[in-house]
Chains A and B, each alone.
Chain A
Amino acid sequence: MSEAASDPRTPNDGLRSQVRKVLREPLGVFGLALVALVVLGAVFAGVLSQYDPAGLNPRDRFLPPSTDHLLGTDQLGRDLFSRVLHGGRIALYVALVSTGISLAIGIVLGLIAGYGPRWLDNLMILLFDAIKSFPTVMLALALVTLTGPSLTAVMVVVILVNVPGYARIIRTQTIALKSSEFVTAAQSMGASTTRILRLHILPNVIGPLVILASMDIPVVIAIEAGMSFLGLGVRPPTPSWGSILNDGFANIRETPWIAVAGGLPIIITTLGFTFLGETLRDVFDPRLKGR
């Protein structure tokens, strides 16, 4: 058998039928469509709009939506449609990269806490709880005060917020599996601790976490938008949905379309990922359905 054969796998037929089940749920299809819309918009931002998202054009300030400018322009004459599409890149980049990093750190810490000695577990739980006890905004403010606003600051905040939760989930399930017969069986065969964690425990605990993470993506996008709105995130002129929203907020009575242009993509993305995540959860863990 090749080396690939020893990798943990979910049943092939199972995975395919799971995907089919998602496509059978109207909510899942809707969520998938919204997510696809956002992702395609971000990927093909340069093709879909010929305007430079940061290009100033003082003559075209505050233009309402038209065929030239689908979502209108802002106070500096920048095309909002173009800014929204490029803002999507930032949002998705932050969401995917920081969720991915959070997952990786959370899984490793959770496995160590769950499988390791009791004192280490207690210590790590204390640490997780300490981090969790900070409100997200306070954490963000404290960090930005130290480092200044940047995309990295946003991602660090997201990772700090997410890791304790992920680690706790992995830890709890690892503890439950630690004394199960198949783990004892692996021990009795002489399997090393890393082998037991990698092959026998991880594949059995990762499923719920991935679903949870997919449902966390909208939260991460909201954190990025929120921090950018407050001026703690990306620096101008880089487009971000949060900063567009902030631009619109200043002139909301006269030019409401700017706030709409900033808010709409946040709503669409959040809804899309939430619907998709919930459908995924129901498909993978039917017991939770309807909760």
Chain B
Amino acid sequence: MTVLSISDLNVRFATEAGAFHALKDVAFDVPERTIVGIVGESGSGKSTLINAILGLLADNGRVDSGSILFEGQELTALDPVAMRALRGPRISCVFQDPMGALNPVLSVGRQMRNIQYRDESPNAQKDARSAEMLEAVRIPNPGTALARYPHEFSGGMKQRIAIAMALMMRPGLLIADEPTTALDATLEVVTLELLKDLQEQIGCSVLFISHHLGVIAELCDEVAVMYAGEVVERGATSEVFRDPRHDYTARLLECDPANQRRRTRRLPTMNDEPGSFVPQPVPPAPDRAVGEKPLLEVRDAQVTFRVGTLFRRESIVGVGGVSFDLYPGETIGLVGESGSGKTTLARAAARLQAISGGSISFEGKSVHELSAGAMHLLRRDVSMMFQDPVGSLSPRMTVGDLVAEPFRIHRVGDVDVKAETMRLLSLVGLGPDFADRFPHQLSGGQARRVGVARAIALNPKLIIADEPTAGLDVSIQGEVLNLLNDLRERLGLAMIFITHNLHVVRHVADRIAVMYRGRFVEIGETDEIFAAPEHDYTKTLLSANLAGPGRQP
């Protein structure tokens, strides 16, 4: 029996520029007790699909034709009251952002009690059931956890609580919209296992939306690939991923850096013909000339944060004594989970964050002891790229002004700023017409290119890149990495590359440092770390980074 059956679904949005056809003849089934994955990049219509199923399309959107059959009921014809009765008990949702999904001012127990409002049983019984659900998602001490508030839980726990809430009423269908995207690799694995266990236990079906091919391969029985509002391919996950029939699926699979088993300087992009890609082996690192001075020397660097009130001060260790050298032209990958201190270390290296001990020197000068004027000069040589591609661009400035900003800040007078801006834009693959655009008019990948252009504007010696590929679609990820690799080689840049994605860093970094709780647990050549991880944490991290779908049997 099929739980959800969608056929020939067409959704259009009325916009100022005319009707936008968001879903085109979408058709697929979700059979009983199965997990069906929906894969697609941003803008492919995944979210519109969910909203159409839930009857929550925006005011300007409507279902033009087609049917959504849920447990024999036609959802497109259902009135809002009946639809509301269905949402929650029969169809429930887990969303990407665990913080946003829970109400911050109500205790977890109270929220879970509210979910059972249709039930007439006494509160004690409802609480008992809530505690049972929390136990099922492995929240320690479920009884006392009920009295606590969402902010008292970690991100991973919050997402598990959200799952417990969604499955509380034993729905027939759970819609999970990128539920693990905001979680670290190790937590992702745990959460996925849990979801699978619970699904089997409760016997519901799951519609699992993700852009992460590895996750889909790991979890889903069937998969539907979406592209530009259409389902271009669907079938059993193993078959689709092993032998993709549609061109787009094949490209998508090849673009996933996790699918490149050999280290390569150039990654495939969506423009490459599927199958035509030839990896470019990474040249062996050149031997260091005897006596060559490191560009950046970090010695026992420590960062502590002081928190609390005037009377009760506590210090939290952000970075607890880290040492490494970075030579000119070399790239070091900084790997670790959120909260491990990667970003703090990077900010300390650029003196955006004070250090509480140790030293950081750049070309022999102690960065944290420089005068303001000397520091200003040093900022020409060290540039940073930030996590959020759009958010790191000043929203009211045009791309042209943004790229010219370093020249203006450092009053570089001997170059034609306008010509230089255009040169930089073309270097990162953006046409001159981009100069007049504003950041919100750019896609994530384009905004990232602007960030790269700005970072290399003054010919720096070191680039600190904080998660430069986070939040980008797989296809664009490859392009950005290729761009960075290319520029790095051409300009002889040294780079600190921060990421939690091991598959990405592998193709970029010469050396990898694994960070855990503010310390390096392991540092070494990239190949060595991947081939023979020594530290337990590195091993956990490696196994937690889900393998590429192509590796599935």
Q: Do the two chains bind?
A: yes
Q: Please report A residues at the B interface, Cβ cutoff 8 Å.
A: 1, 5-6, 8-11, 180-182, 184-192, 195, 199-200, 203-204
Residue of B nearest to A201 (CB): B394
Question: Which A residues are CB-close (under 8 A) to B410?
Answer: 190
Docked-complex contact B395 and A204, CB < 8 angstroms: yes
**A1 with B383: CB separation less than 8 A:** no
Residues in B whose Cβ lies below 8 Å from that of A190 = 375-376, 379-380, 409-410
Question: Do the beta carbons of A182 and B394 come within 8 Å of each other?
Answer: yes
Question: Chain A interface mostly helix, strand, loop or mixed?
Answer: helix
A278 to B393, CA, bound (A): 30
Stretch of B279-287, B398-406, B493-501, B520-528 contacting A (4+ beta carbons < 8 Å): B398-406
- Docked Cα-Cα span, A188 to B381, in Å, equals 11
Given contacts A1-B404, A8-B397, A188-B383, contact A182 B418 (CB under 8 A): no
Contact A188 B350, CB 8 Å, known A1-B404, A181-B391, A195-B409 = yes
Q: Are A189 and B379 CB-contacts (below 8 A) given A1-B400, A9-B396? A: yes
Instruction: Provide the residues of chain A in CB contact with B350, threshold 8 Å.
Output: 188
**Which 6 pairs, one residue from A and one from B, show the smallest C-beta to C-beta distance?**
A190-B379, A203-B396, A181-B392, A188-B384, A181-B386, A181-B391
Residue of B nearest to A10 (CB): B396
Tell which of A190, A192, A200 has the most Cβ of chain B within 10 Å. A190
B388 CB–A CB distance under 8 Å: yes
Give Cα A199 to B394, complex, Å.
9
Query: Which one of B392, B396, B398 lies within 8 Å of A185 (CB-CB)?
Result: B392
- CB-based contact A1/B391 at 8 Å: no
Q: CB < 8 Å: which of A5, A184, A189, A195 contacts B401?
A: A5
Give A6 to B405 CA distance when docked, in angstroms: 9
Tell whether, in the assembled complex, residue B352 and residue A188 are in contact, meaning their CB atoms are under 8 Å apart: yes
Chain B, residues 29-50, CB within 8 Å of chain A (1/0): the string is 0000000000000000000000
User: For the complex, what is the distance from the CA of A186 to the CA of B395, rounded to whole Å?
Assistant: 12
Known A-B contacts: A8-B396, A181-B387, A200-B394. Give 20 more (CB < 8 A): A1-B401, A1-B421, A5-B400, A9-B396, A9-B398, A11-B438, A181-B386, A181-B392, A185-B393, A186-B405, A187-B352, A188-B350, A189-B405, A189-B454, A190-B376, A190-B379, A191-B405, A195-B409, A199-B397, A203-B396
Size of B's binding interface in residues, CB under 8 A? 33
14 pairs of residues in contact across A and B, judged by CB atoms under 8 Å: A1-B401, A1-B421, A8-B396, A181-B387, A185-B384, A186-B405, A188-B382, A189-B454, A190-B376, A190-B379, A190-B409, A200-B397, A203-B397, A204-B396
Cα–Cα distance between A181 and B386 once the two chains are bound (Å): 7
Interface residues of B in 267-307 (CB under 8 A from A): none
> If the complex has contacts A190-B376, A190-B410, are A184 and B396 also in contact, measured as CB distance less than 8 A?
no
**Complex Cα spacing A192 to B410, Å:** 10
Write the chain B residue with the least CB distance to A192: B409
Partner among A6, A188, A203 whose Cβ is within 8 Å of the Cβ of B408 = A6
**B residues in contact (CB < 8 Å) with A:** 350, 352, 375-376, 379-380, 382-384, 386-388, 391-398, 400-401, 404-406, 408-410, 417-418, 421, 438, 454
- The answer for the CA separation of A187 and B392 in the assembled complex, in Å, is 11
Most chain B CB neighbours (cut-off 10 Å) among A1, A9, A199? A1
Neighbouring B residues of A1 by C-beta, 8 Å = 400-401, 404, 417-418, 421
Do residues A185 and B386 form an inter-chain contact, with CB atoms below 8 A?
A: yes
Q: Tell me the bound Cα distance from A191 to B421 in angstroms.
A: 18
Assess the B409–A189 pair: CB atoms within 8 A: yes
The chain A residue with its CB closest to the CB of B458 is A189
B270 CB to nearest chain A CB (Å):
27
**Chain A: CB-nearest residue to B382:** A188
In the docked arrangement, what's the CA distance between A180 and B390, Å? 11
Residue numbers in A under 8 Å from B398 (CB-CB): 9
A186 to B405, CA, bound (A): 9
Q: Which residue of A lies closest to B416 (CB)?
A: A1
The one of B380, B388, B438 in contact with A181, judged by C-beta atoms closer than 8 angstroms, is B388
B396 A189 Cβ-Cβ under 8 A: no
Q: How far is the CB of B279 from chain A (nearest CB, A)?
A: 33
Q: Which residues of B contact A184 (CB under 8 A)?
A: 352, 384, 386, 392
Alpha-carbon distance between A9 and B400 when the two chains are bound, in angstroms: 13
Tell me the smallest distance from the CB of A21 to a CB of chain B, in Å.
11
CA–CA, A150 and B350, complex, Å: 56
Query: Which of B395, B400, B404 makes the CB contact (< 8 A) with A182?
Result: B395
A6 in contact with B401 (CB, 8 Å): yes
